[in-house]
Structures are given as structure tokens and as C-alpha cells.
Structure 1
Amino acid sequence: MREFGEFANIDVDRFLNGVESQIARTGRLREDVAGLVGRAQDEDELVSVEYTTEGLRALDIHPKAMRLSSSELAEKIKATLQDASQDLQTRVNAVMGEVFGEEMNPMRFVADPEAAMSQVKSAEATYKRTFEDVMGELDRIRRGLE
């Protein structure tokens, strides 16, 4: 009887331990990300922002900022909020890199959708090969039973 490639040599205990480890890492990731805060301050130190996964957490406006026009202040706030959001994203990427490793970090696909599609196509090709191998083996077994 032909072997099923790597499937015949699977160490089930090792596989299950790997799954349990991945679940634990995902739980840790959820806790770590929930505690992250992105921070930013404009170059004049008039606007400070803290941003979390739940949204804006703090917005501090220095009294001197009241000397600005409303449109200038609005632009400072928007730019600083964007910087804080980017800081949070950088922190999330770092935590995910620690948990999953840089090679398997799912956040790298956000910036590079072509790499994500390449991974999907590779997985699809592997699935098709495995499916064809299994169906061929089942067909061989069926013919042997006739």
C-alpha cells in the first residue's frame, strides 16, 4: 500500500501540542493587543493623542493651541490622531511578530496583498495535489477491492 506522503508519519501528540500552543499564543496576543496604546504629539507640543484598539482614548490640547485658527487646530488634531493610529499599528505589528514570528506574521499581508495572494495560491496548489493524491489512492483501493 502506498504511503500518504507526510500524513502517514504525523506525530499526533506533537500536532496537538502545537495546536494548544497556538491557541495559548492567540490568547496572549488578544491580551497584549488590548493593552496597547498608540501615542503621538505634534511638533509644537500643542496636541497630544492616545489611541487604542477601541479608538480615541485621550486628546490633550495645550492652552496655547487656542491661539490657532479653528482650521489650523483641526488639522493638527487630525494629523496627530493619524500619527497615534500609526503608532498603534506599529505596536500591533511588533506584538504579532513576537507571537507568530516575522515570517508568519499575518499583519505583513496588510501592507503586501500580492504576498497574501501568493500564499493563497500556494496553499491552493498544495490542497489540489493532496486531494488528487488521496483520490488516486482511494481509486486504487476501490479497484483492488473489485
Structure 2
Amino acid sequence: MQEFGDFANIDIDKLLKGADEQLALLERFQRDVGSYVGHAQDENGMVTVEYDHQGVRELELHPKAMRLASGELADLIKTAIADASADFQKQFSTGMRELFGDDDDPMKYVNDPDAALSKLKEAESLHEQAFTDVMGQLNQIRRRMDL
């Protein structure tokens, strides 16, 4: 009888249950991401911004803001948008950590290109090893069948 290696020991029910759990988590995250809203306001309350997954959701200017120089107002708006975006990103990252856990959170690689590159090299190495193993197994089969 032929050996199937580790494939013969796979618990299909456990595998399917794990996949179902991951899909449920992804559905919950997809539903929850719509509720994440970043908020920011300048220190004088002249500019208020709400930011969500689609971008700037709300931009409110206090009537006194219209008395500011255009450059000063533009700077306040840009800063408030950046702060609201950062607040949204923080909420989004927290949601990702809740979904994937600290170790598997893909968002941690966004601001750490060296870690991302390291993870890619690790994946490449695993892929190359798997390819080598499969080719070795195919070679053995070919020899057994005298092909």
C-alpha cells in the first residue's frame, strides 16, 4: 500500500470547522469595518473631520474659520484630515488584531517593510521546499512506474 505522508492524517472535520470560523470572522470584520469612524478637530474647534473607509465623511468649518487666511485654513483642514485618518487607521488596526491576533495581523507589515520582506522570503523558502519535495515524490513515482 502506498504512503500518503501527512495527508493521510488530516482531520477534514477540523479543517472545515477552522475554515468556517475564519469565514465567520471575516464576515464580522467586513460588517464592523463600516462602523469605524475616525474623528479629529483642531485645538480651536475651527475644523472638524470624520473619516471612514471611504475617505472624508464629514468636514465641518466653524463660521469663524472663514476669517482665517486661506493658507492657514488649508493647513488646519489638512491636519484635521490626517488626524482623523490616523484615528480611523488605529480603529481598523485594532479590528484586524482582534480578527487575526497579534502574530498574524497583516497590517503590522504596512509600516514595517523589512518585516514584510522577511515574511515574503520565508514564504518563498517554504514554497521552494514544498516544490522540491513534490518534484522528489514525482520522481520516485516515475521511477516506480519505469517511465
Runs of 4+ in 1 over 6 A off after TM superposition: none
2:20 alignment partner in structure 1: 20
Equivalent position SS for 2:103: coil
Q: How far does residue 9 in structure 1 lie from its aligned partner after superposition?
A: 2.3
Is residue 51–residue 84 contact of structure 1 (8 Å, CA) maintained in 2? yes
C-alpha distance after superposition, 1:90-135 (max 9, x if no partner): 1100001101111111111111122112111111111211221122
Counting aligned pairs with the same residue, the percent is 47
Match of 1:9 in 2: 9
* Secondary structure of the structure 2 residue equivalent to 1:36: coil
Structure 1, residues 31-85: CA drift from partner, whole Å, max 9, x if none?
1112210000111121110011112111111222223112111110111011101
What is residue 80 of structure 2 aligned with on the other side? Answer: 80
Tell me which residue corresponds to 2:52. 52
1:39 matched residue in structure 2: 39
Unaligned runs of 5+ in 2: none
**Local SS of the residue matching 2:36:** coil
The count of corresponding residues between Structure 1 and Structure 2 is: 145
Partner of 1:139 in structure 2? 139
Which amino acid letter does the alignment assign opposite residue 66 of structure 2?
M
- State the partner residue of 1:98: 98
Instruction: With a CA cutoff of 8 Å and minimum separation of 6, indicate the structure with the bigger relative contact order.
Output: 1
The match for 1:126 is 126
User: Is there any run of 5+ residues in structure 1 with no aligned partner, and where?
Assistant: none
Q: Secondary structure, in 3 states, of the residue corresponding to 2:102?
A: coil
The alignment's TM-score, normalised by the length of structure 2, stands at: 0.89
- How far 1:2 sits from its partner (Å)? 5.6
What is the one-letter code of the residue matched to 2:90? T
8 Å Cα contact 1:2/1:137 also seen in 2? no
Distance 2:3 2:124 in 1: 23
In 2, Cα distance between equivalents of 1:120 and 1:65: 48
2:80, 2:69 → 1: CA distance?
17
C-alpha distance in structure 2 between counterparts of 1:65 and 1:126, whole Å: 57
Looking at structure 1, the residues matched to 131 and 3 of structure 2 have their Cα atoms a distance apart, in angstroms, of 15
**What SS is found at the alignment partner of 1:111?**
coil
- Report SS of the residue matched to 1:132: helix
